[in-house]
Amino acid sequence: MNDMSLTNLQAGKTSVAAAAVEALQGRLRGRALTQGDPGYEEARTIWNAMTDRRPGLIVQCAGASDVISAVRFAAENQLLVAVRGGGHNIAGNAVCDGGLMIDLSPMKSVRVDATTKRAWVEPGATLADVDKETQAFGLALPVGINSTTGIAGLTLGGGFGWTTRKFGLTCDNLLSADVVTASGELLRASPTEHRDLFWALKGGGGNFGVVTAFEFALHELGPEVLSGLVVHPFDDAGEVLAQYRQALEAAPDELTCWVVLRQAPPLPFIPQEWHGKEVVVLAMCYCGDIAAGEKATAALRAIGNPIADVVAPHPFLAWEQAFDPLLTPGARNYWKSHDLLELSDAAIDGLIEAIRKLPGPECEVFIGHVGGAAGRIAAEETAFPQRNSHFVMNVHARWREPAMDETCIGWARDVYEAMRPHAAGTVYVNFMPADEVNRVEAAYGGNYQRLVEVKRRYDPGNLFRMNQNVQPVDARGAA
């Protein structure tokens, strides 16, 4: 093996001796990959096809010892580091060009203790891995809506989905975490150990280290939930969204209903004449007694004259994967997002106008319905701050051809600007694209300065910078 030239933290190149790389390989239970090795291309390929980067070295970790070795190697050589969990992050921070990529995807263990209702999860696990293991015991962890998402990135950014209103955010259910810090030390963060680090991990992203194990609290749920879609003609969007807003005023925590505005995909329950036409979709889930769910969803299902209503008892595991076919890997994706305190008439008008200008059949705007239990936690209790937002808007541009980049990205940005007057000012960090580094401080609001202090304590050199980065300096630039 020849000496390697790897990208460093100063965006230059560092020559790393072949003997040092061989010594690293000898310490690993997993494997180290370079360009041309079997598995390299697969390891560097992530969900968003907009990201096409080539790490100089990829360490595929089999356990915490491999993570420690990789972090120490990066720190000793001052290398640019990217950390991959599920590889689903919209900004593509899981992959770096020329530096060291720490690939956690082989670490997929999920262990459930049904008696204590706890789960221990490794960072390479996807939401499907977690759901399948927990549902085997009639238990669930509140996670997101796409089962191929990685549990690590979801948790560290906050994490919300169908059961958040009942059980809180994913990070709200974190009980402890094992973390490899920038010094290569393995720490346990919990309410009693490294409490500042534990607080920061609950929404502060991958800024503070590499989590090698998560301990979560679980909740009884399933095996069936009342869930499904109600599809409306787009011509009725104004009336549907106004009545949707009104119906949610009395919604119990068990009920979540999201809105998706897009062209109708060719699903079997949607009449063929509607395929490719703009529609309003109400996607709902009631995580409780089925009969109670029928009553709770009645007002939502009574809205307007729907094209289709397929709300019924479904296995929770199947519902957690229901949107996967619309979010498969390999497409080009760009997101813009706002938190909304309310869905005002003016905001509804803005959404309708956005859908009239859809640039492609896979582009959409969705409104996530949050609040409930997640909204009753004080903003300063976790790094995740936006507890007052009742809705999260995500403008999801999705397309296949690079020639469409400018059109689709431009559409997303235009919708974002048009909706700015209705926004709360904060944003969910997991929905921020790579070009929004200027929004990080606003995303964390009053919690940002505390995050800077934690960053300064555990990663003063900003080794972990391939993320929505909290820099270890204060507002005056002082370290």
Q: Do 392 and 282 share a structural domain?
A: yes
- Tell me the pTM: 0.96
Residue 456 belongs to a domain: no
Given this model, what pLDDT does residue 479 score? 55
As a three-state string, the secondary structure of 368-390 is: EECCHHHHHCCCCCCCCCCCCCC
Q: What is the DSSP string of 48-109?
A: -TT-----SEEEE-SSHHHHHHHHHHHHHHTB-EEEESSS--TT-TT--SSSEEEE-TT---
Given this model, what pLDDT does residue 455 score? 98
Domain residues for the domain of 288 are: 224-431
| 276/110 Cα distance (integer angstroms) | 40
Positions of the chain with pLDDT lower than 70, given as ranges: 474-479
Given this model, what pLDDT does residue 314 score? 97
Question: Which of 154, 188, 220 is the last residue in one of the domains?
Answer: 220
Given this model, what pLDDT does residue 474 score? 64
| 443/384 Cα distance (integer angstroms) | 9
C-alpha neighbours within 13 Å on the C-beta side of residue 47: 24
| CATH number of domain containing 211 | 3.30.465.10
Given this model, what pLDDT does residue 49 score? 97
Taking only the tens place, the pLDDT of each residue in 96-106 is: 999 999 999 99
Q: Do 427 and 327 share a structural domain?
A: yes
| 215/236 Cα distance (integer angstroms) | 45
Q: Do 126 and 58 share a structural domain?
A: no
| 213/155 Cα distance (integer angstroms) | 12
Q: Do 76 and 114 share a structural domain?
A: no
Q: Do 201 and 136 share a structural domain?
A: yes
Given this model, what pLDDT does residue 473 score? 86
Residue 454 belongs to a domain: no
Q: Do 166 and 83 share a structural domain?
A: no
| 288/297 Cα distance (integer angstroms) | 12
Number of domains forming the structure of the chain: 3
Q: Do 39 and 136 share a structural domain?
A: no
Q: Do 246 and 373 share a structural domain?
A: yes
Q: Do 278 and 381 share a structural domain?
A: yes
Question: Which of 51, 79, 103 is the last residue in one of the domains?
Answer: 103
Residue 295 belongs to a domain: yes
**Residue that has been written with the tokens 């391939």 in this structure:** 466
Q: Do 378 and 278 share a structural domain?
A: yes
| CATH number of domain containing 251 | 3.40.462.20
Q: What is the DSSP string of 180-202?
A: E-TTS-EEEESSSSSHHHHHHHT
Question: Which of 77, 103, 129 is the last residue in one of the domains?
Answer: 103
| CATH number of domain containing 34 | 3.30.43.10
Residue 203 belongs to a domain: yes
Residue 268 belongs to a domain: yes
Residue 439 belongs to a domain: no
Q: Which residues contact 153 (CB under 8 A, 6 or more apart)?
A: 85, 86, 88, 89, 206, 430
Q: Do 230 and 215 share a structural domain?
A: no
Residue 443 belongs to a domain: no
Q: Do 237 and 213 share a structural domain?
A: no
**Residue that has been written with the tokens 């919708």 in this structure:** 415
| DSSP category for residue 8 | B
Q: Minimal CA–CA distance to 435: which of 348, 334, 339?
A: 334
Residue 453 belongs to a domain: no
